[in-house]
């Protein structure tokens, strides 16, 4: 029987993977047999995450490598260090992102705007370009980048974040077109409100969580573990004809009507 989700022998490189959705996706990929290189800024958090992944899958599947995605040379070095440590990446998950500003887009300082766009958009282009060479040599690969349902609507408090996530969808679409002939698939994942530390201010109150959950068709906020299977699908042969797409994972919060 063909195991369409089997990732045995493949290396996956993930940014923003020391906790939350990134850690869940790394765990999901490792559960399907992949060796995962996990990255974030803090090595202590990465080492704890790697131990958690290894315990979950019963083997030494995870390699921690620190990286600040806001620095181009660090992103490029991450790809080469991952290659040395675990082999060329057949799967890349760009999950790291920032939101340094909360308020009207009319008042955002230039520095905060530039940081948001660089971390959420440009750094993923750096990552994709660095990894594409490895994937081309492998004969193909899969990239996925974490966008947001914020890309689909304006916001009076998270406007620049939403702009950056919409721009990321444009980047994904263009990369899918340009890298497709090389056998490289590129997709976006658009989470709704997920119970992570990153989004804690939006849900960390029982009454607030109850009100939000009541407006979601599945009647709950998302959990990081809801993304383990998505990563396995997009990274494996199960998703081999899916590229240039924005997969919305939000319990039905955003639907075409």
198-234 pLDDT per residue, tens: 777 776 788 888 888 899 999 999 999 999 999 999 9
User: Which of 191, 203, 255, 200 lies closest to 227, judged by CA?
Assistant: 191
Architecture of domain 11-198+225-248: 3-Layer(aba) Sandwich (3.40)
127 half-sphere exposure, CB direction, 13 A CA radius? 36
Out of 72-81, 121-130, 206-215, 244-253, least confident range: 206-215
Sole residue written with tokens 């958090």: 45
96 in Cβ contact with 119 (< 8 Å): yes
**46/39 Cα distance (integer angstroms):** 7
Three-state DSSP class for residue 151: helix
Listed by start position, the domains of the chain span 11-198+225-248
Average pLDDT over residues 1-19: 92
How high is the pLDDT of residue 90?
Answer: 98
| pLDDT surpassing 80 at residue 56 | yes
Please say if the pLDDT value at position 51 is more than 80. yes
The proportion of the chain whose per-residue pLDDT surpasses 90, expressed as a percent, equals 90
Residue 255: CA count within 13 A, CB half-sphere: 8
pLDDT band for 255, please (50, 70, 90 cuts): confident
Checking if the pLDDT of 111 tops 90, the result is yes
| Joined tokens for residue 51 | 């131990």
The one catalytic residue in 101, 102, 113, 161 is 161
User: What does the pLDDT read at residue 203?
Assistant: 67
Q: Is the pLDDT of residue 1 over 60?
A: no
Q: In this predicted structure, what is the pLDDT of residue 198?
A: 74
Average of per-residue pLDDT across 107-132 = 98
Q: What is the rounded average pLDDT of the residues 66-90? A: 98
- Cα separation, 201 vs 134, in Å, equals 38
For residue 238, pLDDT beyond 80: yes
Q: What is the pTM of this model?
A: 0.95
- The predicted pLDDT at position 101 comes to 95
Q: Indicate the range of 28-37, 80-89, 150-159, 202-211 predicted with least confidence.
A: 202-211
Across the chain, mean pLDDT equals 95
Q: Is 161 a catalytic residue?
A: yes
Residue 65 host element (H or E):
strand 62-66
pLDDT at 2: 63
Q: In angstroms, what is the C-alpha Rg of the chain?
A: 17
Mean pLDDT of 238-246: 98
> In this predicted model, what pLDDT tens digit does every residue of 156-202 receive, in sequence order?
999 999 999 999 999 999 999 999 999 999 999 999 999 888 777 77
């Amino acid at each position: 029987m063909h195991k369409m989700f089997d990732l045995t022998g493949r290396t996956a490189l993930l940014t923003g993977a020391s906790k939350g959705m990134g850690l869940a996706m790394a765990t999901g990929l490792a559960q399907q047999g992949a060796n995962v290189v996990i990255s974030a800024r803090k090595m202590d958090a990465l080492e704890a995450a790697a131990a958690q992944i290894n315990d979950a899958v019963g083997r030494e599947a995870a390699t921690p490598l620190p990286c600040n995605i806001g620095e181009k040379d660090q992103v490029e070095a991450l790809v080469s260090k991952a290659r040395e440590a675990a082999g060329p990446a057949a799967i890349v998950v760009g999950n790291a992102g920032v939101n340094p500003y909360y308020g009207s887009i009319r008042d955002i300082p230039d520095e905060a705007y530039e940081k948001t766009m660089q971390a959420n958009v440009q750094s993923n282009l750096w990552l994709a370009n660095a990894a594409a060479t490895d994937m081309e040599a492998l004969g193909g690969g899969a990239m996925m980048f974490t966008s947001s349902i914020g890309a689909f609507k304006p916001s009076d408090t998270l406007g620049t974040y939403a702009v950056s996530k919409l721009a990321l969808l444009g980047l994904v679409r263009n990369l899918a077109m340009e890298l497709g002939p090389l056998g490289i698939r590129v997709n976006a994942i658009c989470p709704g409100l997920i119970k992570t530390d990153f989004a804690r201010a939006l849900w960390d109150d029982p009454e607030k969580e109850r009100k939000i959950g009541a407006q979601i068709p599945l009647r709950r906020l998302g959990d990081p573990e809801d993304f383990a299977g998505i990563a396995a699908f997009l990274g494996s042969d199960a998703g081999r004809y899916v590229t240039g797409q924005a997969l919305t994972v939000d319990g039905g919060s955003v639907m075409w009507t």
